[in-house]
Structure 1
Amino acid sequence: MTATVRTVLGELPPERLGLCDAHDHLFLRSPLLPGQELADPVAAEAELRQFAAHGGQALVQWTPYGMGRRRRDLVTLSRATGVHLVAATGLHQAVHYDPRTLRGLDLAALFVAELTGDGPRAGLIKVAGGYHGLDAHARRTMAAAAEAHHATGAPIAVHHELGTAADEVLDLLCDSHGVAPDRVILGHLGRFPDLRLHRRLADAGAYLAFDGPSRTHHATDHHLFDCLVSLADAGHLDRLLLGGDTTTAAARGNPGPAHLPRTLRPRITAELGEPAATRILVTNPAHAFAW
């Protein structure tokens, strides 16, 4: 069976995905961010149009179940702007939900239904660890994500709190639940710039997502090229992904998804060469999100 990327408009050959923001949010809602909801389709469209004007072609929204994904709006936005959009199923940390929302849910069945059912389908499973560890909620969610992965082939993308516990997550998903490392995308690693750990995770075969150029996560920006060059020098260009990860209304457009093609791509080209920039922003996402 030929692997495809599952966008909100349907299946897409990986080679047509194009330059990709591999981790971002057009819509997001959490009780931890009152008054900062990303819920404005007009603002989302303006951001996508600016992204496209600078050469952006695809964006992967990591907003999971129960956090205001607005999948129908993603369909409308993709049609209006021509940008390929990939939606997520999965769950974030428990603190982002009313406990009543999660009580009694068959998580694996939910994830599979959103990956394969009617309506705009999800194209990845988003889960989350904790700060330097995994609580019972994280372990339950990751077990369900692994079950859904084995049923469908969908990749698993992981939020790491301040970039920590990536090795523990990889051990749980791969050693305990049999997920192949190249089906796992480890997010926020720029927030914990342990270059030796990054190399070990890439050696294992996982994808490493560096996703910080926004006002929310600006403290990671000055580590980015040290991390990229370290991994490139170790022969791991094929493990790297980049995203913007805008999570609040205040951070929207500062600098937004357009920062990747407008600013980061020229800098990567200058530092590592054009083939490396294409590998990180085009080729790697096409492989990471195809199933």
Structure 2
Amino acid sequence: MVAAVRTVLGDIAPGELGVCDSHDHLFLRSPVLPGQELDDPLSAAERLRAFHALGGRAVVQWTPHGMGRGADALAALSRATGTHVVAATGLHQAVHYPPELLDRIKDDLAALFVAELTEGIGATGVRAGLIKVAGAFHTLDAHARLTMTAAAGAHHRTGAPIAVHLELGTAALDVLELLCGELGVPPHRVILGHLGRSPDGVVQREAARAGAFLAFDGPSRANHATDWRLPEELAELAGAGFTGQLLLGGDTTVPETPGMPYLLRRLRPRLEEVLGAEAVETVLVANPARAFAFEAPVAGGPSRGA
């Protein structure tokens, strides 16, 4: 299997991805965000066009199974806007789902993830390009362990990358201990999201030393205060030799989030002043091309959770 990024229109060479928003949402629905659904294809198209006009060429949507990810609209949006879109399988925290849904699928999660990665999401024909899972606040609860075990099984069968929501940026090392230490997922196949929400440089550097990708996402979130710390955090990681493991994303989760255009219009030039244009280009282009590429499954590799 030649390394490829799996977009909603099919597999592409990693070098074709271009400037990438490594964590965002075009569609999203959750009972914990009532009245704040992202469910309008016209709005999604407008955001994609604005991002494309600023030089953006790819968006990775982390919306997983059962959260209104709009799989039936993603291919048309990608074609209409000229923007690569990567969709996700996986599961978020249990709070985002009706208990009856989780009861129905929990025993076959790995098979569900594999099917959505290899065959398609429902009847759409759109295949997922990554597996999204989530930790809890400073810990991994039973649901997180269940979904991460299934994600590891699906990874070993497909070579798909695993993206992890860290609740308020916490439990990064617990995630790596489980996915990589216990379940045999190579660290460079793991993308840790929301690290900027817990500005612990020691943990960030330890996660980077382990080999994971570090995603700094959700800029200008009023309740997370991530923006003012971001240049310093990235500069410290780059200075320690980890530029090649950094990713940036808009993480649009409610309609008023500035999201993907803000990433390039405001955040990029600000970071270029601190890191330099070449380093920011690496973070936006070269790193996503490696982070989101499928790799050939290892023959005889771990199959726990499959």
TM over 0.5: yes
Can you list the C-alpha shifts for 1:99-123, whole angstroms capped at 9, x where unaligned? 1011132100000000000410000
The answer (yes or no) to whether the contact 2:197–2:224 under 8 Å persists in 1 is: no
Q: Hey, what's the Cα distance between the residues in 1 that align with 2:251 and 2:3?
A: 26
2:143 paired with 1:140: no
With over 3 angstroms needed to count, the CA separation of the structure-2 counterparts of 1:216 and 1:107, relative to structure 1, is farther
Q: How do 1:138-287 residues align onto structure 2 when only pairs under 5 Å count?
A: 138-215=144-221, 219-251=225-257, 255-287=258-290
The amino acid of 1:225's aligned partner reads P
Q: Hey, what's the Cα distance between the residues in 1 that align with 2:274 and 2:290?
A: 23
Tell me by how many angstroms 1:258 deviates: 1.1
Instruction: Give the secondary-structure state (helix, strand or coil) at the position aligned to 1:157.
Output: strand
The amino acid of 2:110's aligned partner reads A
With over 3 angstroms needed to count, the CA separation of the structure-2 counterparts of 1:9 and 1:217, relative to structure 1, is farther
Tell me by how many angstroms 1:217 deviates: 5.2
Match of 1:111 in 2: 113
Tell me by how many angstroms 1:265 deviates: 2.0
Q: Hey, what's the Cα distance between the residues in 2 that align with 1:257 and 1:26?
A: 10
The answer (yes or no) to whether the contact 2:218–2:259 under 8 Å persists in 1 is: no
Q: Hey, what's the Cα distance between the residues in 2 that align with 1:200 and 1:217?
A: 26
With over 3 angstroms needed to count, the CA separation of the structure-2 counterparts of 1:50 and 1:218, relative to structure 1, is farther
Q: Hey, what's the Cα distance between the residues in 2 that align with 1:199 and 1:125?
A: 24
Match of 2:33 in 1: 33
Match of 1:89 in 2: 89
Q: Hey, what's the Cα distance between the residues in 2 that align with 1:73 and 1:163?
A: 30
Gaps of 5+ in 1: none
Tell me by how many angstroms 1:49 deviates: 0.5
Q: Hey, what's the Cα distance between the residues in 2 that align with 1:247 and 1:262?
A: 19
Q: Hey, what's the Cα distance between the residues in 2 that align with 1:37 and 1:186?
A: 24
Aligned residues: 288
Q: Hey, what's the Cα distance between the residues in 1 that align with 2:223 and 2:238?
A: 23
Q: Hey, what's the Cα distance between the residues in 1 that align with 2:230 and 2:78?
A: 29
Q: Hey, what's the Cα distance between the residues in 2 that align with 1:214 and 1:120?
A: 31
The answer (yes or no) to whether the contact 2:113–2:154 under 8 Å persists in 1 is: yes
2:12 paired with 1:6: no
Root mean square deviation of aligned Cα: 1.0
Gaps of 5+ in 2: 295-306
The answer (yes or no) to whether the contact 1:216–1:248 under 8 Å persists in 2 is: no
Tell me by how many angstroms 1:267 deviates: 2.0
Instruction: Give the secondary-structure state (helix, strand or coil) at the position aligned to 1:77.
Output: helix
Tell me by how many angstroms 1:220 deviates: 1.0
Tell me by how many angstroms 1:23 deviates: 0.2
TM-score, structure 2 normalization: 0.92
TM-score, structure 1 normalization: 0.97
Instruction: Give the secondary-structure state (helix, strand or coil) at the position aligned to 2:163.
Output: strand
Q: Hey, what's the Cα distance between the residues in 1 that align with 2:154 and 2:26?
A: 25
The answer (yes or no) to whether the contact 2:220–2:226 under 8 Å persists in 1 is: no
Tell me by how many angstroms 1:259 deviates: 1.5
Q: Hey, what's the Cα distance between the residues in 2 that align with 1:213 and 1:236?
A: 21
